[in-house]
Amino acid sequence: MLVFKSVNELKQFLFQNKHKTIGFVPTMGALHQGHLSLINQSKNKAELTICSIFVNPIQFNKPEDLENYPRTIERDIQLLEDVACDVLFLPSVNEMYPTKQYKNYDFGTLATVMEGEHRPGHFNGVANVIERFFDIIQPTYAFFGEKDFQQLAIVKDLTKQLGLSTEIIGCPILRENNGLAMSSRNERLTAEERNRAAIIYRSLIQIKNNQKTSTIEQAKKMFKTAVEQEKMNLEYIEFADGTTLQPIKEWNETNYCVAFVTVIIGKVRLIDNLTIYSNVTSTP
Ligand code: AMP
């Protein structure tokens, strides 16, 4: 695997390989099987796979979250070697933002709900870094996990707004054996906390299975009680249309409903989502 830390060196390499299709997988490191599944999808589709590891400071709305974000670069490089990733791009903050000038984007109501509401400025930071990466790499395909469902919708919208030809490909959520969605932040959980956090997925599945017999209000209450019983705090649970991401109050308001949750366990913030029902053929 080739490792580039400088934008110019990466660009030179890309110029020499300009006839190849490029698959791009942006990450913030502390890699796990969820990330590696994106790399594998890219390897199946593109001639050249580039993974980036960059902990993007401007998408963190809390300094302590940025400070505590897990960093395991040696292990990450080994994992990427093991899956035969072609290129790792490992830029510094200065390489990414030499002018420190950031753009302001308008994603309308896509960015005013859920993560957008609870993490002010987060998606603007994500959009800045993705635009910069896409400008440097000009990928044919870019792979994003449905774990960050709202981010995936924002990146699709960004690509459309910028008129880019990069195809955005959403990839399914990988989970631990107990159902907990894989996440770099899980590194900060004890084994006991990981066990307790399994209730998140179990409760979402229960909601999905009982959806015909309970109201949205009842489903929200059930979820809150279940996570609190496991000594976790519910930041939010929302049921929303999977395309517009606008919250609904009654099941019949959409034919494509996704549950979005954020739960706090200790000092760690975990997000997850599950499609409750979908009568549409293509998902965002
Ligand atoms: P992150 O390093 O957390 O910024 O994630 C980098 C990419 O990996 C994003 O597109 C995430 O949605 C994706 N990702 C993170 N966790 C998972 C998972 N459990 N399953 C699938 N994709 C994931």
pLDDT of residue 91: 98
First and final C-alpha spacing in the chain = 32
* Ligand 1 atom showing the smallest separation from residue 181 Cα: 19
The CA 212 to ligand 1 mean position distance, Å, reads: 31
Sheet of 233-241: strand order equals: 233-241, 256-265, 268-278
The pLDDT of residue 224 is 98
Which residues are known to be catalytic? 35
Sign (positive/negative) of CA torsion 96, 99, 100, 106? negative
- Residue nearest atom 5 of ligand 1, based on CA coordinates: 27
CA nearest ligand 1 atom 11, residue: 145
pLDDT confidence of residue 90: 98
Low-confidence ranges of the chain (pLDDT < 70): 281-284
Report how far residue 159's alpha carbon sits from residue 265's, in angstroms, rounded to the nearest whole number. 34
Q: Which pLDDT score is estimated for 196?
A: 98
In this prediction, residue 212 carries a pLDDT of 83
Looking at residue 74, its pLDDT comes to: 98
The answer to whether 63 and 21 have CB atoms below 8 angstroms apart is no
Q: What is the CATH code of the structural domain delimited by 2-171?
A: 3.40.50.620
State the DSSP H helix or E strand holding residue 240, giving kind and residue range, or none if neither.
Answer: strand 233-241
The model's pTM is 0.97
Q: Is 184-278 in CATH node 1.10.4100.10? A: no
Domain boundaries, given as residue ranges, for the chain? 2-171, 184-278
Distance CA 198, CA 201 (A): 6
H or E element: which one contains 141? strand 141-145
Identify whether the C-beta of residue 274 lies closer than 8 Å to the C-beta of residue 243. no
